[in-house]
Amino acid sequence: MSEYTLYCFAQSGNAYKTALMLELCKLDWQAKFVDFFNGEARSPDYRAINEMGEVPVLLHGDARLTQTGVILDYLAGMTGRFGAKTPEEGREILRWLFWDNHKLTSYTATYRFLINFAQTGTTPVTQFLEQRMRTAFKVLDERLEDRDWIVGTNASIADISACGYLFWPDEFGVDWRDYPGIGAWLERIKAIDGWRAPYDLMPGHADLEQPRD
Amino acid sequence: MSEYTLYCFAQSGNAYKTALMLELCKLDWQAKFVDFFNGEARSPDYRAINEMGEVPVLLHGDARLTQTGVILDYLAGMTGRFGAKTPEEGREILRWLFWDNHKLTSYTATYRFLINFAQTGTTPVTQFLEQRMRTAFKVLDERLEDRDWIVGTNASIADISACGYLFWPDEFGVDWRDYPGIGAWLERIKAIDGWRAPYDLMPGHADLEQPRD
């Protein structure tokens, strides 16, 4: 039995944020697979775990945590890693966590879901989402133009949160050369000791389940 | 010169969250009108104040704060009001702040904007947003089925955040009788000493500028 249990699945960038944090902090954690694509997150059993019907959920001792921003903040407090050094920096990190949830992850995740998994093709809804996703990319790209990390001089949970969906540019048809600040920053994140890609870190990706020829 | 300055406009539910908090805490604050509907929030001058191009922004001494979740948390810390009593409660409040930003306010505000201000009529995009808005209403309604407040036994910034857009049901075509838990909870919020409606609290609403006959 590991110290931390994470309800997750490989395609969830929100789950990846927390899995990556657990991994970078070298914590003892295990994944519990949620069969999202077959509706498990909407089931009564799962709603009893998280009434918001969302992935991930983190179990640690008696604590049951949901919402990636809360989980990242909790783990930063537990480990002393990737957190704030001052109250001002703490507010700055929290500010970017909210922005990510509302403006970056929200539109990117939903756009990717429709285009890549639901395969709706281009529709008024995907056009609406893509435009807002690209607006968010522009804000982040400009933020990173002359800085290595979103807040302060070190990687923080603001970076770990914001990168959650951004290692899949092919799945939402973006070339990071169009957003060079983001592209260079993602390479910096990949260079952090212990970094692993989403599909290598969580269960449920077909490539992992079915051995290739 | 008031102690707090809030960049805001009457139609912004996000600004309302923070204006209501300032008012309920009986703080000395003044409104600075942002002409959102004429594009001020997208102007370079405003971007210099908030690179995210969003309203509200709160000035307090040397601090310049953006993102309502951060502002509410900051004011709760300053005043000792509407905040958490324990770390567990703090995580629970933060969890609902994130959920509100991502799932409740995000869809409600955008749907209301398109239907009520941009007046697009029903489109695939408004149908998409309305469905997600109503899913969020259902989560909140069920949460409030057997509780007076979203977290714990008292009103908190989780309530002040989540109610931000919900005093305008006519503007997004919802009848709270369909969500009785929400309806009763909004009445409890209105009964808090000092409560005022959004259009009475912030500048820029036509009804306030043009005296009625």
Q: How deeply is B69 buried, as exposed, middle or buried, from its count of CB atoms within 10 A (0-12, 13-18, 19+)?
A: buried
Contact A70 B91 (CB under 8 A): yes
State the smallest CA–CA distance between residue A1 and chain B in angstroms: 24
Please check whether residue A18 touches B, CB under 8 A: no
For residue B53, the model assigns a pLDDT of: 85
Q: What is the pLDDT of residues B170-187, one digit of tens each?
A: 999 999 999 999 999 999
Query: Average pLDDT for residues B53-78, to the nearest whole number?
Result: 95
State the smallest CA–CA distance between residue B201 and chain A in angstroms: 25
Please check whether residue B176 touches A, CB under 8 A: no
Q: Which 8-state DSSP code applies to residue A102?
A: I
Residue B158 has pLDDT above 90, yes or no: yes
Residues of B in contact with A88 (CB under 8 A): 63
Which residues 126-145 of chain B have a CB within 8 Å of chain A? 128, 139, 142-143
- Could you list the pLDDT tens digit for every one of the 213 residues in chain A? 899 999 999 999 999 999 999 999 999 999 999 999 988 988 999 988 888 888 999 999 999 999 999 999 999 999 999 999 999 999 999 999 999 999 999 999 999 999 999 999 999 999 999 999 999 999 999 999 999 999 999 999 999 999 999 999 999 999 999 999 999 999 999 999 999 999 999 999 865 444 433
Mutation test of the interface with chain B: which of A12, A70, A127, choosing the one with the most B Cβ atoms within 10 A?
A: A70
The string of DSSP letters for B65-123 reads EESHHHHHHHHHHHH--SS-SSHHHHHHHHHHHHHIIIIIIHHHHHHHIIIIIS---S-
For residue B168, the model assigns a pLDDT of: 97
Residue B210 has pLDDT above 70, yes or no: no
For residue B207, the model assigns a pLDDT of: 54
**A6 phi and psi, to 5 degrees?**
-115, 115
Co-location of A74 and A128 in the same domain: no
pLDDT > 70: what percent of chain B? 96
CB A175 within 8 A of CB A169: yes
State the smallest CA–CA distance between residue B113 and chain A in angstroms: 14
Q: What is the pLDDT of residues B112-124, one digit of tens each?
A: 999 999 999 999 9
For residue B70, give the nearest of A94, A103, A106 by CB distance. A94
For residue B205, the model assigns a pLDDT of: 84
Closest Cα in chain A to B125: A125
State the smallest CA–CA distance between residue B26 and chain A in angstroms: 23
Q: Which residue has the tokens 């703080």?
A: B27
Co-location of B55 and B70 in the same domain: yes
Rg (CA), chain A: 17
Contact A95 B128 (CB under 8 A): no
Residues whose CB falls within 8 Å of the CB of residue B95, separated by 6 or more in sequence, listed in order: A65, A66, A67, A70
Co-location of B205 and B157 in the same domain: no
Alpha carbons A210 and B14: distance in angstroms, whole number = 47
Please check whether residue A66 touches B, CB under 8 A: yes
Please check whether residue A65 touches B, CB under 8 A: yes
Q: Which of A88, A97, A114 is nearest to B77 (CA)?
A: A88
Residues whose CB falls within 8 Å of the CB of residue B92, separated by 6 or more in sequence, listed in order: B84, B151, B152, B158
CB A3 within 8 A of CB A60: yes
CB B210 within 8 A of CB B16: no
Co-location of A132 and A203 in the same domain: no
For residue B1, the model assigns a pLDDT of: 83
Would you place residue B213 in the very low, low, confident or very high pLDDT band (cuts 50, 70, 90)? very low
Contact B51 A142 (CB under 8 A): yes
Mutation test of the interface with chain A: which of B17, B67, B72, choosing the one with the most A Cβ atoms within 10 A?
A: B67
Query: Average pLDDT for residues B48-69, to the nearest whole number?
Result: 92
Q: How deeply is B13 buried, as exposed, middle or buried, from its count of CB atoms within 10 A (0-12, 13-18, 19+)?
A: buried
The CA-atom distances, in angstroms, between A163 and each of A18, A96, A177, B127 are: 11, 12, 16, 29
Co-location of A97 and A152 in the same domain: yes
Co-location of B103 and B182 in the same domain: yes
H/E segment holding residue A58? strand A57-60
User: pTM of the entire structure?
Assistant: 0.94
| Helices B68-79 and B87-99: angle between axes, nearest 10 degrees | 150
CATH of the domain at B116: 1.20.1050.10
Q: Which 8-state DSSP code applies to residue A5?
A: E
Please check whether residue A153 touches B, CB under 8 A: no
Residues of A in contact with B68 (CB under 8 A): 98
Q: What is the pLDDT of residues B92-136, one digit of tens each?
A: 999 999 999 999 999 999 999 999 999 999 999 999 999 999 999
CB contacts < 8 A, A to B, total: 73
Co-location of A125 and A57 in the same domain: no
The strand order across the sheet containing A63-66 reads: A29-33, A4-8, A57-60, A63-66
Co-location of A74 and A99 in the same domain: no
Q: Which of A140, A142, A147 is nearest to A163 (CA)?
A: A140
For residue B212, the model assigns a pLDDT of: 37
Quote the domain boundaries for residue B46: 4-82+197-209
Query: Average pLDDT for residues B149-175, to the nearest whole number?
Result: 97
Co-location of B185 and B92 in the same domain: yes
**A122 phi and psi, to 5 degrees?**
-75, 125
Co-location of B178 and B202 in the same domain: no
Residue B84 has pLDDT above 80, yes or no: yes
For residue B209, the model assigns a pLDDT of: 47
Closest Cα in chain B to A69: B98
For residue A207, the model assigns a pLDDT of: 54
Q: What is the pLDDT of residues A139-168, one digit of tens each?
A: 999 999 999 999 999 999 999 999 999 999
Co-location of A96 and A151 in the same domain: yes
Please check whether residue A98 touches B, CB under 8 A: yes
CATH of the domain at A78: 3.40.30.10
The total number of structural domains in chain B stands at: 2
Please check whether residue B69 touches A, CB under 8 A: yes
Query: Average pLDDT for residues B142-167, to the nearest whole number?
Result: 97
Co-location of B114 and B201 in the same domain: no
For residue A184, the model assigns a pLDDT of: 98
